[in-house]
Structure 1
Amino acid sequence: MGTGASISICQTLSSIEVKHCTNKVGPEPQRIFGIPLDNFTQDASHHHVPLVVNHMVEYLEEFGLNHKGLFRISGSATKIKELRRKYDQGEEVNLVNEGDVDSVASLLKLFLNELPVAIFPDNLCTDVLTSFEGELSHMAECMRCLRWLLSSLPKAHSSLFHYLIRFLVKVASYSDVNHMTLENLAIVFGPTLFRIPCSPSACEKQTLCNAVLLQFLQHHKELFVECPDSHFALTKEDDPQHLHTILPPQALTQQQAEELDHL
């Protein structure tokens, strides 16, 4: 969906929805990209996640769910740079008029990639690699490890992770159109949420982390049922049965990565 289409659709929305598109975002005029999550003012009305993330996700939920190859197609470098500048300077950001689906999706990934500490900090990445190796095929032990990992996340990281999982599950519910299944999303976001240092075994380690993220996506209901700030608000249509099919970690193969490149 291009910018023109976004403007046309936004003009038919209610005044409340238009306000969501044009709100000034940012707790105060200061740099937003590249700062620790703990530095953001937490707002309960936005699920304890940075307002800039909520702003972009709301836009993508409104205009991007039916967009083929969402998160796989790079946006306009010019638009991304300008939107980032406005967010960092605390200016009013109108994503409908100034952005497009691919640029906003790229900007969201950029925000996550530039966090000084990833959603899963380095020490937890190390724990993931030691705890989950050989355990993903044993469901009871895998679920125990996933719950332990969730409980180990810092509060700000946990809140943002819950919010992103809800959003990604919703994206996958439109996979018949956008081609972004849970498996594809795990491949795209695995390197963003789990940062693996360069090494001879980096590819193997990243594959394992992607498989762990896939388990979080497939078992979100069981894992987040006791989390008060997970805010799952999926409709029956958004949460179809096929999203909960258990896939082995072998499902995240090089073949799938190559298929993504042909979207």
Structure 2
Amino acid sequence: MEEEGLFRIAGSASKVRRMRMSFDACCLTLPTALEYRDPHVIAGALKMYLRELPEPLMTRSLYDEWMTAARSQTSQEARLQALKQVVDKLPQANYDNLQYLIKFLSALSRNQEVNRCHHRI
């Protein structure tokens, strides 16, 4: 969480691929993951996982609803409520992954002064 440039600095491409292959083969255990030690490799594997999902995390079928919810509401509270309604339509696996990802990114942003992972609006 305190690694500067966590998602900007690339990890070793071969290690990211090996980690991903281990994950795909269901061989990635915590001790195996810790062997990589480089947080940039783990961040790279996460980015690769998200990029290579067969269906986007927030689903193609809900794209128009996401855009409508994000654009049409006048107040932030109404916008958040509209987005929550779309989130509730996600398949359970997508919902769970999104929930974990948001928790991780929230924790990462709490350390933004150290890790320089500033959010952009």
- TM more than 0.5: yes
Query: Letter of the aligned partner of 2:105 in structure 1?
Result: L
Q: Which letter does structure 1 place at the counterpart of 2:97? A: L
Indicate the residue corresponding to 2:34 in structure 1: 96
Give distance in 2, aligned partners of 1:158 and 1:82. 27
Instruction: Find 1:160's aligned residue among 73, 77, 97.
Output: 97
Measured at CA, do residues 132 and 92 of structure 1 come closer, stay the same or move farther in structure 2, by a change above 3 Å? closer
Matched, 1:69 2:9: no
State the secondary structure of the residue aligned to 1:149.
helix
Instruction: Note the C-alpha offset of 1:180.
Output: 1.2
- Match of residue 148 from structure 1: 85
Query: Over aligned residues, Cα RMSD in angstroms?
Result: 1.7
Please say if residues 74 and 102 of structure 1, whose CA atoms lie closer than 8 Å, have aligned partners that are also in contact.
Answer: yes
Q: How many residues align?
A: 119
Q: Which has the higher contact order (CA 8 A, sep 6+)?
A: 2
Residue 115 of structure 2 corresponds to 178
Whole-angstrom distance in 1 between the partners of 2:21 and 2:95: 27
1:1-263 → structure 2 map (5 Å cutoff)? 65-91=1-27, 93=29, 94-135=32-73, 137-181=74-118, 183-184=119-120, 252=121
Conserved? CA contact 1:120–1:153, under 8 Å: yes
Distance 1:92 1:167 in 2: 19
Q: Distance in 2 between matches of 1:173 and 1:166?
A: 11
Secondary structure class of the residue paired with 2:61: helix
2:69–2:83 CA contact under 8 A, matched in 1: no
**TM-score, normalised by the number of residues in structure 2:** 0.86
Whose radius of gyration is greater, 1 or 2? 1
Contact 2:66 2:83 in 1 (8 A): no
How many Å apart are 1:175 and its aligned residue? 0.5
Q: After the TM superposition, which parts of structure 1 deviate over 6 Å for at least 4 consecutive aligned residues?
A: none
